[in-house]
Amino acid sequence: MSEQTVLLSKGRYVARLAAGDVDIAAVQALRTLCFRTPRIDQDEFDSECAHILVEDSRSGALVCCFRMLVLDGGNDVSRSYSAQFYDLSALHAFEGRMVEMGRFCIHQAWNDADILRVAWGAMTAYVDQNDIQMLFGCSSFAGTETEDYLDAFAMLKHRHLAPKRWLPRVKAPNVFRYAARLRRKPDAKKAMLRMPPLLRTYLMMGGWVSDHAVVDTHMNTLHVFTGLEIGAIPPARKRLLRAVAG
């Protein structure tokens, strides 16, 4: 393994950049398994992105993967995967470099919190290396039924909506306008139990979300646009991330 491709090595896990077609095929196979798609999970964005693999150093097993698309600024945001589903015109005014993180998945057979920590550490290293000012993507809830997630959506409405200056507008034909429709006070415990781990981590870092969820029948998910301004991450959280990344 080339030293140049390694982003992070912690404990039994190594995070590295994909080094060729064999690695790309491996991440697509893991995505197909995790997302349960009938065909190999691949699209035109795969050739535009850097792919990060998290592997078990003992067995070489691929346990987690995601991809990163670097954009020079808000004027470039229409190139992103997320722009297919959200009207991101408000982000055109964002001046710093951005990266879209997508297709994040962890192998179902691996239930180890350190995998997510190492993945976030690798993301942090990548963000620092590429002078990124905003991290964004689509955060997914499994399935397309909203009933199971009403407390989670109520929590997003009350605490985590995007600033008005960056708020994505509706573009997809099938959406759940939870911020407009929900009147309930969230049960915090139920909300956090149903919140996807990746989204939960975004929120802990100061991330924010769109005011609606897209009902994606192709991927069998509900997803919200999620943004994280690097400069707004609380200093204590930033130190923790950099401690892992370092």
Q: Model confidence over 90-137: pLDDT tens digits?
A: 999 999 999 999 999 999 999 999 999 999 999 999 999 999 999 999
Average pLDDT over residues 148-156: 97
Q: What angle do CA 73, 44, 105 make, to 5 degrees?
A: 85
Element (H, E) at 128: helix 113-129
Element (H, E) at 185: none
pLDDT, tens digit (0-9, with 9 covering 90-100), for 158-211: 999 999 999 999 999 999 999 999 999 999 999 999 999 999 999 999 999 999
Instruction: Evaluate whether 71 touches 154 at the Cβ level (below 8 Å).
Output: no
User: Could you tell me the pTM of the whole model?
Assistant: 0.94
pLDDT, tens digit (0-9, with 9 covering 90-100), for 85-95: 999 999 999 99
- Residue 55, strand partner residues: 14, 62
Radius of gyration in angstroms for the set of CA atoms belonging to the chain, rounded to a whole number:
17
Instruction: Evaluate whether 7 touches 243 at the Cβ level (below 8 Å).
Output: no
Cα–Cα distance for residue pair 126/130, rounded to 1 Å: 6
User: Three-state DSSP class for 91?
Assistant: helix
How many alpha carbons fall within 13 Å on the CB side of residue 154? 15
**The domain 3-245: what is its CATH number?**
3.40.630.30
Please state the domain extents for the chain.
3-245
Work out the percent of the chain whose per-residue pLDDT is above 90. Answer: 91
Q: Give yes or no for residue 239 having a pLDDT over 60.
A: yes
Work out the percent of the chain whose per-residue pLDDT is above 70. Answer: 98
Nearest residue to 132 (alpha-carbon basis) of 101, 162, 103: 101
User: Three-state DSSP class for 16?
Assistant: strand
Question: Burial, 87: exposed, middle or buried (Cβ in 10 Å; 0-12, 13-18, 19+)?
Answer: middle
Tokens of 191: 């909300």
pLDDT, tens digit (0-9, with 9 covering 90-100), for 173-183: 999 999 999 99
Confidence of residue 1 (pLDDT cuts 50, 70, 90): very low
105 to 66, 116, 159: CA distances (angstroms): 7, 10, 26
**Amino acid identity of 82?**
S
